[in-house]
Amino acid sequence: MYDRGARYYDAIYGYKDYAAEAAYVDDLIRRHGRGRRRALLDVACGTGKHLEQLRRRYACEGLDLSAEMLAIARERLPGLPLHQADMAAFDLGRRFDAVVCLFSAIGYMTSLRRLRRAVRTMARHLEPGGVLIVEPWLGPESWRVGYVHARFVDEPELKLARMGVSARRGRLTPLDEHYLVATSAGVEHFRHRHTLALYSDAEYRGAFQAAGLETLRDEGLPTEKRGLYVGVRG
């Protein structure tokens, strides 16, 4: 999914305050959880930046589909259990006091069936009283077709531009992102396509409720403000 772009992921998202986001997640778990607060699973953990903060508060594990992202996470977090798996079809054989899926990774579930299956799979890994926190992708009402987006990195040893134009096909949002990258090794151009799906508030809530979770909506992490869905296993 990220392959060549994985090495630049942390530079592109260098603006994110992972410490503040981890503290916010911890506060949600403390306020809404009804059990212990010891073990946490980060689904779609990426390069491990949230886990780097959350491991100070919990016994953590991570899971991601991308081998390239996990390779970076393993360098960052030696000894921390990291699993390569699909968020809609994993079974770790144990339960956690909290499961989180952040930065809109749930949007990669490109059908309502896959969305429900992913939420059900994550909920199945919760202890009784445990908390599931999911940061959604944008809703249908927020998506703008033809929006020109770009991020730039200007570091001494790295110059990068990532650009694209938003499109829509039904509920799907195919994102063709073009990278222009300059390092001491030279200049390269490559492209990644990410396809995410737009879901309504009712569809997210329906997936949580179908998984047997008591559900509420939170305003969201301090960096992104995309909202959060918080479910508690009864």
**CATH 3.40.50.150 spans which residues of the chain?**
3-139+200-233
Supply the pTM of this predicted model: 0.97
What is the location of CATH 2.20.130.10 in the chain?
148-197
CA 204/CA 211 separation, integer angstroms: 11
Tell me the two tokens of residue 151. 């991020």
Residue 2, pLDDT above cutoff 90: no
**pLDDT class of 1 with cuts at 50, 70, 90:** low
Contacts of 16 by beta carbon, 8 Å cutoff, 6+ apart:
49, 223, 224
Residue 225 has pLDDT above 90, yes or no: no
Cross-strand pairs, 205: none
Query: Residue 70 belongs to what H/E stretch?
Result: helix 67-76
Specify the length of the chain in residues.
234
Q: Give the three-class secondary structure for 126.
A: strand
The CATH number of the structural domain formed by 3-139+200-233 is 3.40.50.150
Domain 148-197 has CATH 2.20.130.10: yes
For residue range 29-57, what is the model confidence (pLDDT) as tens digits?
Answer: 999 999 888 999 999 999 999 999 999 99
pLDDT by residue (tens digit) across 154-197?
999 999 999 999 999 999 999 999 999 999 999 999 999 999 99
Average pLDDT of the chain is 96
Using alpha carbons, list the distances in angstroms from residue 56 to 18, 64, 145, 178, 195. 13, 20, 41, 36, 33
User: Is residue 15 within 8 Å of residue 21, measured between CB atoms?
Assistant: no
Do the beta carbons of residue 52 and residue 18 sit within 8 Å?
Answer: yes
Mean pLDDT within 59-80:
98
